[in-house]
Amino acid sequence: MNRVGKIFAAIALSLAVSCISDKTMEGDGTIVGVGDTIPDFSVQMNDGTTVTGSSLRSGVSCIMFFHTECPDCSKTLTQMQPVYNKYAPEGVKFALISREEPQQQVSAHWNENGYTMPFSAQSDKSVYNLFATHTVPRVFICKGGTVQALFTDSPPPTYEQISGELNKALGK
């Protein structure tokens, strides 16, 4: 393996280990759980819009925290795209927020997988740490700013589970 290949492998391994190392921490890391109100935050999405905690407190919203090198996050993102396709036109607000990764890396992952969901690449954990201390993916289904359902990596949620909770929040 050449020098560039070794560097890439080391970076990929360290990112994968960061996702795996979450699993060795005690508890599930939840700060905001079912029944809690989502905190105030503000993120710039890749489509130029700004999403805030306040803007997600009206109606139904779906917030997901992820890291593109996390295998469970990748599984969940493949489930989220059809959820987004179905529920965004119905008025559900989506905020897909990365945990500690640059815009370029998230954009490359989106392009590689054909995702059309808007995302916010965060270079640190400041927004994530308002919701949790560890463990991605995290999917919050909210109504009126109150968390109605929370999914993590045990196991990663399916389309049917996320869709079912959104239907409940929408009164379907």
Tell me the per-residue pLDDT of 63-122, one tens digit each, with 9 for 90 and over.
Answer: 999 999 999 999 999 999 999 999 999 999 999 999 999 999 999 999 999 999 999 999
Output the pLDDT for position 22. Answer: 53
Mean pLDDT within 162-170: 98
Residue type, 125: K
- The mean-pLDDT minimum among 11-20, 39-48, 53-62, 74-83 falls in 11-20
pLDDT at 56 exceeding the cut of 70? yes
Among 55, 57, 79, residue whose Cα is nearest residue 151: 79
Residue 64, CA distances (Å) to 6, 8, 14, 97, 149 in order: 32, 27, 22, 6, 12
Question: How would DSSP label each residue in 136-170?
Answer: S-EEEEEETTEEEEEE-SSSPPPHHHHHHHHHHHT
- The mean-pLDDT minimum among 1-10, 53-62, 87-96, 159-168 falls in 1-10
Q: What is the pTM of this model?
A: 0.86
CB–CB of 121/98 below 8 Å? yes
CATH of domain 3-169: 3.40.30.10
pLDDT at 14 exceeding the cut of 70? no
In the block, tokens 């995702």 appear at 115
Output the pLDDT for position 59. Answer: 96
The domain locations on the chain are 3-169
Count Cα neighbours of 35 within 13 Å in the Cβ-side half-sphere: 0
C-alpha of 96 from chain center: 5
Q: What percentage of residues in the chain have a pLDDT greater than 90? A: 81
pLDDT at 18 exceeding the cut of 90? no
Kindly report the number of other CB atoms within 10 A of residue 160's CB atom: 10
